[in-house]
Structure 1
Amino acid sequence: MDGACRYGNLYSQAYVTNTAALITVLFKNGAACGGCYEIKCWNNTQWCNPGNSSVFITPTKLCPPNDAFPNDNGDWCNIPQEHFDMSQPAFSQIGFWRAVIVPVLYRRVLCHMDGGMRFTINGNRWFNLVLVSNVGGMGDISDVSVKGSETGWISMKRNWGQSWECDTVLVGQSLSFQVTTAEGMQITSDNVGL
């Protein structure tokens, strides 16, 4: 639950258990949060599930490096490893749990999310913090703008993960959001909240 993407309860945010922590090179300071990957156990029949099925996961956490260990397989979260630290239910779909680590093939894929995009609005009078989740398409977000019922569009900046912020006072206004996904798709959600 929770994690560096700041999704909080992964069940209420629709990510459930098909999740993983990514190393810094894949995590991209949180820009990868919400994206989707297909992962398949590879070249290790002893530890791969029969049929070598794949699993679809969403990054929700960071797998932090440990500089006390060498980078040559000393710590799986150290650069240059391309490591997915998967939840047990997700890992168990491709490999036997007792294996702990298996080689995988992975690729970015489109996300198939049900229930529409979600906005969790926090902050205070002078600071707006908005968590954007359950985004379809590629799933990760490159840009967010907010528009109050009394303002024009205001560009927000990434706070961390998929939390976006702006310091414009928007109290009492109906809010609309314009979200641009990593592949350039722009989605506008009107009158999301007050």
Structure 2
Amino acid sequence: MLFNRGSTCGACFELRCVDHILWCRPGSPSVILTATDFCPPNYGLSSDYGGWCNFPKEHFEMSEAAFVEIAERRADIVPVQYRRGGLRFTVSGSSHFYQVLVTNVGLDGEVIAVKVKGSKTGWIPMARNWGQNWQSNVNLTGQPLSFEVTTSNRKTLTSYNVAPANWQFGQTYEGKQF
């Protein structure tokens, strides 16, 4: 259900174990996960044991390392509360070559256009470098950055002042979500 025919692959979620006094970690800590694969349904099993991937149930299959962040290791299945993270923008390059990797685009469609805006510039269209890496040759150092992302289904989302004026190459910043 959450995988949404693959369109959620690469999406970011924050999860925490809830409402289970025996298995949830004290203080209800959270863990950040990236959706990477599909949990296939098994309609031969009931949805409360073994068929937890059956439609319309929502399910996260987690690594043991992630699971023990929120619940006791000996627990098998725990109830969770989750929320989607925003678009992520990872900035790389130099003062003469600026590149941003756009990730966590959680909807049907692919990114077809990205624009960037500094506090001293208008909107600057970026060129696709490869995959979801977008580039520009404009020096944006020392300016807070805003991003406009357009997907193939013609939805556009603008995230204002995502990166502060003191942003650095190699850092990741979170914006809004579709």
Q: Compared with structure 1, are the counterparts of its residues 78 and 36 closer, same or farther at alpha carbon in structure 2 (3 Å cutoff)?
A: same
Cα distance in 2 for residues equivalent to 1:113 and 1:93: 26
Deviation of residue 74 (structure 1)? Answer: 4.5
Amino acid at match of 2:156: G
Q: 2:102 aligns with which of 125, 130, 135?
A: 135
Q: 2:31 aligns with which of 38, 52, 55?
A: 55
Cα distance in 2 for residues equivalent to 1:89 and 1:143: 31
Alignment TM-score, normalising by the size of structure 1: 0.50
Deviation of residue 46 (structure 1)? Answer: 1.3
Aligned to 1:92: 68
Cα distance in 1 for residues equivalent to 2:38 and 2:105: 17
Mapped pair 1:70 → 2:46: yes
Residue deviations 1:70-100 (CA, integer Å, cap 9, x gap): 3454511112221111111111110112101
Cα distance in 2 for residues equivalent to 1:39 and 1:26: 13
Amino acid at match of 2:55: I
Cα distance in 2 for residues equivalent to 1:111 and 1:104: 22
Aligned to 2:156: 184
Cα distance in 2 for residues equivalent to 1:113 and 1:95: 30
Percent of pairs with identical residues: 42
Deviation of residue 49 (structure 1)? Answer: 1.2
Aligned residue pairs: how many?
118
Alignment of 1:95-114 (within 5 A): 95-112=71-88, 114=90
Gaps of 5+ in 2: 93-100, 114-130, 136-148, 159-178
Higher Rg: 2
Residue deviations 1:138-176 (CA, integer Å, cap 9, x gap): 433622459xxxxxxxxxxxxxxxx9xxxxxxxxxxxx9
Cα distance in 1 for residues equivalent to 2:71 and 2:62: 11
Q: Tell me the C-alpha RMSD between the 2 structures.
A: 3.4
Gaps of 5+ in 1: 1-24, 117-133, 147-162, 164-175, 187-194
Amino acid at match of 1:65: P
8 Å CA contact 1:49–1:96 kept in 2: the answer is: yes
Alignment TM-score, normalising by the size of structure 2: 0.54
Mapped pair 1:46 → 2:46: no
